[in-house]
Structure formats: structure tokens, C-alpha cells
Structure 1
Amino acid sequence: MEPKKKSPATVDESHLKLIMGLKLKQLRTEKGMSLAELAQATGISISYLNEIEKGKKLPKADKIAVLANTLEVSYDWLVSLKTNKKLAPVAEVLQSRIMKELLLDVFGIDKAQLLDLLARVPVKLNAFLNTLIEISRNYGMRVENIYFSALRSYQEMHENYFEEIETAVDNFMSQNSLDVHQAIEWEQLRAVLEKNYQYRVEEDGLSNQPELQELRSVLLPGKRPKLLLNKNLNRIQKAFILGREIGFQFLGITERPNTTSWVEFDSFEQVLNNFKASYFSCALLLPRESLVKRLEVIFASPEFNSRDIIQLMEDFKVSPEILAHRLTNLLPRYFGIQELFFLRFSNRNGSEEFELTKEMHLAGLHNPHANMMQEHYCRRWISINILRSLSVQLKKGIYSKPLCMAQRSRYFGNEKEYLILSLAKPAMEGTNINHSISVGLLLTNQLRKKVMFWNDPTIPIRMVGETCQRCPAADCAERAAEAEVLQKGQRIAVMKTALKALSDR
């Protein structure tokens, strides 16, 4: 009696489905069989065979046995991840981290189609995929960098506006009798967490762990989750963290990080879910209805007044970063201002080293943007200068509230101009790290219609570059490095012209 065939469920099922589908298609094609002919020979429907070839179905053992017999291969080979020479690059890709690092599912790219293409042009496509990963490694990119790049792309695809989260916030506020026109205190959110979700919140939960002082919070899951807060958090930071915890719970999110800031990155799903909960918290602390009305008043004035921005933050008890995030959420949807960017720069108090730690661009990649080459960002940017001003105030002991400045930036060799609103404050009490948060709005006809102070003569207009290494500005007093990249490009252009002249003789 023929031995009973083993189920293929012991190997990675998702990989097996993809590999089996490619094997099936390759074997059928080599035998010159159509799907209809294979269906007739095996008694398996055309639609089911098609699903197998697409890597969507894993047939039961009896069907696999029939397919193996018809295609004249062994059952064990068909249910294994072993491949012939032609499909070897596919197996190599599946066993590497490439498929995970490329985050195909996030962007709606069908893995089976990509692998099918890889099977047909294996050398070139495999080289291309490996090149992408190699480039990321050479530039010091880690998996988390790819995750956050993918998240930014996801936000940009949706114009950073998510109606389902906005609606969830409205429902939560209604259910808990919270007024959209009044600031929410962190104690209110603590009460909701303790009553509705049985949380225990410890305001000074990390002091006994000196190695965890850089973290803002740690969640210890369980039947009664314990949320440990850093004692140096201010009221706004506590409110945001508690609002984020409510977001996880109210949105029914289970796969999530348990620390703020990040310690490790287990999956893109965690990064995406953390964004959703953070979006919830920002929308909770600064509801769209109230913010849109306040912005309409601020934008209607022909004069820019930084005190109006500061007052808005004080009224709702939110940080510059929360306000900036809400601007990127609501300006495209409610004001038609779609071409914008968000930047967060960090530096140590008194230092001239500036790091771009967060960015997002809507409706295209705007300047400025991140540079992985360790080049010097233009010192004429308002994002940099506001950090310098903050450092001076901190040194003199006169800092009392976030700084707010505006600037119109025109780029050398580029007709685009941006109206930029920038805010700056220390990152957290007990550290010497400062943050500047900037929202840049491309100067378009729509912006001129909606933001009346765009042409306020008190707003400085500056010519700016991207990085010093690429900037053509002559005799720039703020230059921090020579224009090496620009000069190299110019030398190459001269050589190309000379080579063309030589060949035209």
C-alpha cells in the first residue's frame, strides 16, 4: 500500500504557496499545457489551478499528489522550498530579508507577480532587488529606517488625513463627555484609562531604572496594564502618551510597541499602529472642529503674529509637534493647501550640529529633505536659526515658552518659494536636546487665497540652499562647508562638454 502523503503545513506556508505556484506554472509551461488541459488531466478546476499558480491557495495532499503525478515530479519536491536552477533566485529572495524590507504589501504590490517576474528575468531583477538593499546598507539605513520611510509614503498616499481615526476621536469624546472646545487635562485621560481599561499609571515609574531614563514611558501589559511614566514629563507630554494609550485601546490595536521612544522594531505593523494611536492622541488633544475655526481666524489676518500661534497652543495645552502634525492633517482637507512639508530638527543645546530626525512631504518631495551623506544643512533655514535663538535664551536663562518664527524661503536655481512656520522648544526636562518643528507651505495661488499674511512685510525673505556642499551661493556668511558636490558636478559637466567637442571634430 502506498504510504500516506505528509501534509506540507510544516514548512512556511506563505513561502510554500508562492514557490509551489511558480513551480506549477513553470512545469505546465514546459509541457506546453494550458490551464484547461491541466484541469482536464487532474480533475482540478481551472479557477483553483489559477489560484494555486498565483500563490494564493495551498492544495490538500491528495490534489498535490495528482499534480505531481501529472507533471511527472515527486510529491516531496513539489511540497518543498527546493527549486530548480531557474527558480533558484526566487528561493534566495524568499529566504533573505528582502521581501520583508521592501514592504510590498503596504504598497499593494503582489508578491506572487514580483516572484513570477523574478522567475522570468532572474539575473537582472535579482540584481536590482539586491542593489536596493545594498544601497540602504551602504548609507547606514537599518530596517527601522525603511519602516519609517514606508510609513511616510503611506501618510503621503492618504494626504496624511484619516477620516476613520478622526471619526473614532469624535465618538470617544462624545462617549466620555469631553468638550471639543476645551483643553483636555492629562488627569482626565488617566481617569478614563483607569476606569475603562483598568490601567495603573505611575507618574514616577522609571526612576529606579537609570538605564531607562531616555524613555518617556514603558507599558507592562497584563490584565491590569501598568504604564510607567518618566518623572521629567510635562503635563502636555503626559497627556499625549495617555491619549496614545487610549488610542490603542479604543481602536482595538494589539500589535504595538510598549515603549516611548522606540527601543526595537519588530514589524512594520507595529510602526503603522503606533502612528494610528499617535494620530488619535493628536486629534484628541486638538480636535479638528476647533482647530479649523481657530486657523480660519489666524489666516484671515494680513499680519503674521506669532503670539496667535503660541496662544492657540496654550489654550489647548498642546506642544509644537502636536500642532504641526494637526496642520499637516487638516490643511490639505479643509484649506486646499496640499503642497507642504513637515520637518523636525534636533540638536544639543549650544551645538552647531543639526540632525533632521523627522520629515514628511505631501504632494511631492519638497526642499529641504533628509540627506544621508552627512552634508551640512543650509544655515539660512528658519529651522536651524530658531534652534540657535532657543539656545541663546536657554543660556541666558530667559526661556519661558516655545519660540515661533516665520520665513519665506526661495531656493537658489529654483523658482519655488515656501512660507515656513517654525516652532522650537527643549525636548524634555532633564535633557539638553532641543527640537525645532517646521511646516513649509508652497507659495501657490491657493495659499495666497487662504493665508492672508503670506505677504506680510515683517516676514523675512531669504535665499536658501539644500546643503552647503551643493549650494552655489557665493560669499555666503553662513556657509559651514565648501560646495564640494556642486564643484564636482561642474567639473564633470566641463569634461562632458570637452569630450563632445572632441568627438565632433
Structure 2
Amino acid sequence: MNIEEEYIRLIFGLKLKQIRTEKHLSLFGLSKLTNISKSYLNEIEKGKKYPKTDKIALLSQVLDVPYDNLVSLKLDKNLAPLGEILQSKILKEIPLDLFGIQEADLIDIISNAPAKVNAFISTLIEIAQNYNLSRESFFLAALRSYQEAHNNYFEEIEQSVEKFVKAYQINQKEKIKSSDLEEILVEEFNYNIIENGLANYNNLNEIRCVYIPKTKTLLLSKSIDESQKTFIYAKEIAYNYLKLKERLYTFSWIKFETFDQVLNNFLASYFAGALIIPKNAIEKQLKKFFKLEKWNSELFNDMIYKFTDSPETYYQRLTNILPKTFHFKNLFFLRFTNKNNLNRYKLSKELHITQQQPPTANETHEHYCRRWISIDLLNKVQKNEVTTGVQISEYPDNELKYLVISSATPDPFKENHNRSVSIGLLISPLLISKLNFLNDEQIITKKVGVTCERCPITSCEVRVCEAIELQKKAENEAIAKTVQQIIKDFS
């Protein structure tokens, strides 16, 4: 069903219902005045039917509304935001079926309670404006919801990787080399790959590659290392092998035009991660590691290096495997970045499986807790090394504990910056039963907050600012309590 046709029918139905209501007419009453059946009028108002010209003329006459006003797509100020949303590209671009939502369902919801839906949409628009929510941010939030709904595991892509490996005789028992994938891109998909192809473009220092679809040319930055090149090639193979048409042409991305680009970028990245780090191999590796009595950072780094020099690629793969194979579904993934010698940290990527474990991206420019190992390791980064650590983070507010594993390196995409990637696992009976090293006394337990502004920990040696938001909350609660006492005293 065409969304433009639905839009026209819905707008007409909304206007008819609004005018009828303002005239204090029931559907039964309008039916009596027009000799149009009540059921047909109901379908018109719900956006399911669009009346013929003679019936529109009759409705115009009975309701004393100019014909042109009735058929116009312009809405009054009370319903205008609804029209903006219905006409927006976002509604057209986001594949609602991914979330099990049909366009018809939305139409029914809007038709049944236009004023309430309008108020809700207006609220969302206001929130988006206040928090400077960009188009890209909206799309990425929708993608995260899609990942979380599937526990970030996609069997079809895993199977596609297995078929690709068999068809092209890829040896996954050894670390995959970029040269192996380059040969496939050139021979099978007719790529023209130019090393140092971006050398003459000084303002593209943070771009690792640019793809030109017309000539199937891939321009590479001179600064990429072997692991980055392997990942780039694996993603390009994914775009071709999975036949993903809507795609991005740069890595890292500059901006997204459509949700399909966001989704396909994720699918290609998932394929690349699964190709570089085979499912069976990492499962076997993790099972062996979980049996250790003591935590071993060096061994964990060796596990990463077996497949890739990129900790982020390995951690991202963990978010696929841990929920599926080991049933650790209460987990989060975080990526932090910061500039050298600056006490400011940005949460640049996050994923939460099954629930919103703290922390989540904070858009109010508050200060993330400096007790997190994710941030602590950023201040211990060594050049050309992976610095890995572990801690148990305890949140006093909800009494939850997480085992947090984190690795930090110089940022491969920004000079004089560092980045850390972390995975947090909720400490539960299931986790305790499968991870022997959880009893390791060398693993430090720290009470942590989310941001300094909201942290209840009073004796904190690394606090950046006072818990002002917590203080405001306490003051408001005290005022409310006093008011309640006044009401009680004078009742």
C-alpha cells in the first residue's frame, strides 16, 4: 500500500472527524444528514476510504465547509505536527516491518486518537530539538533497538559467512590476511583498489577509505594498518556478497541519508566481524578462558591477537557470541574516547542487550564516573599496545554488580586521542556458574556511579563536581514532604 495514498486518505479522515466533532455531530447524526452509511463514514475517518467527488460535495454542504478546504492537505495548527511526521522521510525510510509494525497499525492509532498522538509527537519533536537530536542519531537509535530486539545475533548472516568461506575456500584456522580478501574483490567483484589513494586530500585524515560505485574503485588511506585494511575488505565483500545496494561510500561514515544505509552498514560490519572471527573458534576460545581460576589480561590480549589487532572488532564479536552461546544477555558494550591530557570523555558508541544497563549515552554534558575501568584505562594507554583490565562495578542505587572487561589503545582514527572498548556482564547465578575467575581476589570491586552530578558516593577521590542533580532531587523531596505535613496539620 502506497504511503502517499494512505497519507491523503488519513488527512481527509482526520479533518472530517475534527469538523464533525466541532459541530457536535455523532457519526449516526452525520449519516442521517447525508444518507451516507455510518460504517462508510467511519472508514473514511479512519483513513481506510476516500470518498468520491459527489460525496465530498455533499459533506461540504452539510458541514458548511468549503469544498477546497475539505480536500486540502493543509492541517490546522492543532494537527499540523501530525502532518509533518506523516509527510517526513523518516516515516518512509524506516522499515517498520523490522520491528513487527505495519503502516496500517500506525494509521489506526493516529485515527483513533489524533489529539493524543499529536501531543505525543509534539513532545518527541521538542525533546529532539532540546537535545539536538540529529537525523543520524535517530537512525542509530533505531538500529540499536533492532540489534537489542535480536540479542545482537543474526543467524542468516552467520550462515552467509559459512557459505562464503566454503565457496571461496577461506582458511579460517589462521588469521585472515587482507591480501586474501583483496584477491577476491579484484577477481570476483572487479574492484580497482588504489593504495594511498587519499594521499592528496589533506582534509580526509580521519577517512580510511572512499568507494566510487561507478568504477568500483576503492581508495585507501595511507595510515590504515593491516587489521583495518582486512576489515575494510571484508565489509566490501559483504556489500557485494549479500547484495546490499543502499550503502555508505566512506569509512568512517560522514552522514547517513536513509535508514537502509544505516542498516546495511551494520549488516556488512557484522559479516566482516563474523568472517574475521569465526563463531566456532571464538566459542572454543572463550569456553577455555572461562575455566581459568585467575583473570589473565595478557592471555585475553592474546585471544584478541589470534584474530585481529583491533580490540573493538573482538569486543563487538563478543556482543554476538556471549548472548547466543553462553546466554549472557544482560550485557552492555561501550566505547569511550578522549583527547590526550584532557579530563573529558565521550561515550561514542553503546549497546545494551535485554535492559538499559548503566551507563547510557548522556546528552546533558554531565561528567561520567571516573571510577569506571573504561575511563581509568584511557589514562594508562601505551603507544602501540593494548592495555586491558577488569573490575567489578557495583552500583549502590540499584545494588547491581557487573564484571567489566576493558581494553584501551591509541585511537586509530584520531591523532592524539585514545579510545577504550568495554563489555559489562551482569553478575548473576548464571555468570557465577560459568566464569571460574569471578572468585579471583585480584579483581578489584569498586562502587561506581553514572555521572558525578547524580552520584550518591560521598567519599570519592576522583569526583569532578558535586552531585548537584542529586541535591536538587533531595531538596524537591524535602519540599514535597513539608507540603504534605502542612496539609496534614491543617486538615
- Global fold match (TM > 0.5): yes
Normalised by the length of structure 1, the TM-score is 0.85
How many residue pairs align between the two structures?
476
Q: Paired residue for 2:443?
A: 459
Q: Which of 362, 371, 376 is the equivalent residue of 1:380?
A: 371
Classify 1:388/1:22 alpha carbon distance in 2 versus 1 (closer, same or farther; 3 Å): same
How far apart, CA to CA, are the structure 2 residues paired with 1:98 and 1:164?
Answer: 27
For 1:197, the equivalent position in structure 2 comes to 189
Which 4+ stretches in 1 moved above 2 angstroms? 11-34, 37-42, 52-57, 63-125
Q: Which amino acid in 2 is paired with 1:402?
A: V
* Partner of residue 269 from structure 2, selected from 258, 264, 278: 278
Residues 80 and 334 of structure 1, relative CA distance in 2, 3 Å threshold: same
Number of the residue aligned with 2:23: none
1:441-488 alpha-carbon deviations (Å, 9 max, x no partner): 000111111111112111111111111111122231111111111111
1:217 aligns with 2:209: yes
Matches within 5 A, 1:63-82: 64=52, 68=56, 81-82=73-74
Using the alignment, how far apart are the partners of 1:23 and 1:500 within structure 2?
46
Deviation at 1:69, TM superposition (A): 7.2
- Cα deviation 1:414-455 (Å, max 9, x = unaligned): 211000110111222771221100000000111111111112
Query: CA offsets, 1:385-414, max 9 Å, x none?
Result: 111110xx3xxxxx3421111111111232
CA-CA distance at 1:140 after TM superposition = 2.0
1:162–1:404 CA distance, 2 compared to 1 (3 A): same
Q: Deviations over 1:65-114 (max 9, x none)?
A: 57657867899888763568986664344245674698755534444444
Partner amino acid for 1:142? Answer: S
Hey, what does 1:207 align to over in structure 2? 199
Matched AA of 2:264: N
- Summarize the alignment of residues 122-133 of structure 1 with structure 2, pairs less than 5 Å apart: 122-133=114-125
Contact 1:18-1:112 within 8 A present in 2 as well: no
1:83-482 matches, cutoff 5 A: 90-95=82-87, 99=91, 106-222=98-214, 224-390=215-381, 393=382, 399-428=383-412, 431-482=415-466
Q: Is the 8 A contact 1:387 1:436 kept in 2?
A: yes
Q: Distance in 2 between matches of 1:374 and 1:482?
A: 14
Distance 1:364 1:67, change over 3 A: same
Distance 1:17 1:278, change over 3 A: farther
Question: Identical aligned pairs, as a percentage?
Answer: 41
Shift of residue 181, structure 1, vs aligned partner: 2.0
Deviation at 1:124, TM superposition (A): 3.5
Shift of 1:373: 1.0
**Per-residue deviation, residues 330-360 of structure 1 (Å, max 9, x unmatched):** 1111011110000000011222111000001
C-alpha contact 1:101 1:143 (8 A) present in aligned 2: no
Measure how far apart 1:277 and its partner are: 0.5
Deviates more, 1:375-384 or 1:75-84: 75-84
Computed over aligned residues only, the root mean square deviation of the Cα atoms, in angstroms, reads 3.2
Provide structure 1 residue ranges, at least 5 long, that are not aligned to the other structure.
Answer: 1-8, 394-398
Kindly indicate whether the alpha-carbon contact (under 8 Å) linking 2:82 and 2:121 is maintained by their aligned counterparts in 1. Answer: no
